[in-house]
Amino acid sequence: MGRRRRNDLDDLLEAWARWCHSGGVVPGSGASMLAKMIDGKGLITFGSGGGSAPMDTIEARIEAAVMKMAAENQDRADVLRLECRAGWFRVSQRRGLVNFDPSGLLQIDMAHALGMSLRTYKRRLAEAREV
């Protein structure tokens, strides 16, 4: 089987992963983006504009889409996070993966960590990329 050709979605997912890695997920804010959206009745407001970076970015929209995906199918969202290395620490905490770091791991290693076959891992990844 050949490698999939890189496309615009790959570039967006890479930007999202970098955003997550640099703290864009706002882990210390006390509430998830989904919780903020529920509290704001569909609108997300962030702080009082005290010099923080704008949160209405493509990366923030991807994060919101992945959180919505997680509500529908947690495995799909977890596979995407591990594959992109974006917010993978949440996956490891929720699933109780001790000393887990996906850096340098192969897909089969990540599939095993999630308790699924490589075939299922690849299927969930393809599903996530379609959404």
Does the pLDDT value for residue 49 go beyond 70?
no
Confidence band of 118 (pLDDT split at 50, 70, 90): very high
Q: Which of 81, 82, 53, 54 is nearest to 65 (CA)?
A: 81
Give pLDDT, residue 11: 86
Sequence-distant (6+) residues with CB within 8 A of 101 are 88, 92
Structure pTM?
0.70
| pLDDT tens-digit readout, 16-40 | 888 887 777 544 444 556 666 666 6
Residue pair 90/32 in contact (Cβ under 8 Å)? The answer is: no
Higher confidence at residue 34 or residue 95?
95
Does the pLDDT value for residue 52 go beyond 70?
no
Per-residue tokens: 121: 């891992």
Q: Count the neighbouring beta carbons within 10 Å of the beta carbon of residue 25.
A: 21
